[in-house]
Every structure is written in structure tokens, then in C-alpha cells.
Amino acid sequence: GYFGASDGSRMYGHGIVTLMLTEMLGMGVDESLDASIHDRCQQAVDLIVRSQRKKKPPYAKGGWRYTPDASDSDLSISVWQMMALRSAKNDGLEVPSSTIDDAIDYLVRSFTSPVDADRKPRVRKNGFSYEANNDNPTFAMTAAGLLALQVCGVYDSELVLGATEWLLDHPPKWEDRFVLYGLYYYAQGMHQ
């Protein structure tokens, strides 16, 4: 069930391949191929769920990192797992709601302004950082955080609005680190 081991792409590759396979589900040339894709997708989703549940410090809970057994998390890996889970859920695969809830909690901690109990940020116009509890928003991670919230079903929160405002004030620049990576998320997140 782990797609990122053989090619060295680790959990990046795992999330991307899982997303691709969930998008292919039902498009096989016959029922046997569809059943095989379905079974492999469920195994991949189960690995994502188990990986999130590994023992981690409080700031890293709910996210993912480079390997399935990692004890920390970062947003760049986590967003791929969240996109794969959303697609899997859309396909009717088993995705525990607690996994999505924990992912949302991780995203809230990755927002660079502290939030209150109602998840309202102290400073609404803000971004997302590579790791939780950090105050260094970047274009790529803010675009990733914006899209990740949306694929988890959070569309109208103060964090979504604040990230959108931050992105409008900090448009992409070719010299930005990981600008193309950020544009991938930006296009989808801003479209939503």
C-alpha cells in the first residue's frame, strides 16, 4: 500500500500516486482492473491514515511528513495526503472523519496568526507556514494551506478569507522559492 518507497519519492509520491489512482477509479478497461485499483487505493488510504496517527508532538499531530512512520509533519507533504483523501472519499473509499478533523486542526496550527477557540485568527490577513506554530508565511505554503482547507471541506472560514487576502497582497514572483509548486495550489485554491 506504500507507493513512495521504490522510487524514493516517499510520502510526496505516495500522496500523488494515490490521488492519481483515485481519479482513475472506475475508468479501468474491465471490472477486474477497477477492482484492483479500488483495493490498492484503499490500502494506500489506510497507510495515509496510519501514518497520521503515529505518535507526534502536539504541534505536528494531524499532519504528515516524508515517511509513513515519521514523528513530525510539514504542510508540503500533508497537502498531498489531504488531496488524495478527498478524492478517495469522493470515490466512496473508507476515510475516517477523524482523519479529516485532525488534518484541519493541523492546518489551523500551520496558519501564522494565533487563533481563538472559534478558530478566528488574531490577524486575519495571514498565511501558512511550512511547519506548524511558525510565523513565516510563504506564497507556496499559503496557497497549499488555502487549497488544503478547501479539500477538507472548509470554505468560508476566517482562515480561508485571510489566506486569500494575504495571497492577493503577496502575488507570486518568479524569483520566489518554489513558485511553480505554489502556483499549482494557488490556481486551484483561488478558483474555489
Specify the pLDDT at position 16.
Answer: 96
Instruction: Classify residue 46 by burial, with Cβ atoms within 10 Å: 0-12, 13-18, 19+.
Output: middle
Specify the pLDDT at position 6.
Answer: 84
Please list, in sequence order, all residues whose beta carbon lies within 8 angstroms of the beta carbon of residue 95, skipping any fewer than 6 positions away: 45, 49, 85, 88, 89
Please list, in sequence order, all residues whose beta carbon lies within 8 angstroms of the beta carbon of residue 70, skipping any fewer than 6 positions away: 11, 51, 54, 56, 64
Specify the pLDDT at position 29.
Answer: 84
- Exposure string (b/e) for 150-166, b if CB count within 10 Å is 16 or more? bbbebeebbbbebbbeb
Contact 127, 83 (CB under 8 A): no
Specify the pLDDT at position 2.
Answer: 87
Instruction: Classify residue 16 by burial, with Cβ atoms within 10 Å: 0-12, 13-18, 19+.
Output: middle
Specify the pLDDT at position 8.
Answer: 83
Specify the pLDDT at position 28.
Answer: 77
Count of CA atoms in the C-beta half-sphere (13 A) of 54: 18
Contact 142, 167 (CB under 8 A): yes
Q: Interior CA angle at 63 toward 19 and 191, to 5°? A: 55
Q: In tens digits, what is the pLDDT along the chain, a chain of 192 residues?
A: 888 888 889 999 999 999 999 999 888 788 999 999 999 999 999 999 999 999 999 999 999 999 999 999 999 999 999 999 999 999 999 999 999 999 999 999 999 999 999 999 999 999 999 999 999 999 999 999 999 999 999 999 999 999 999 999 999 999 988 999 999 999 999 999
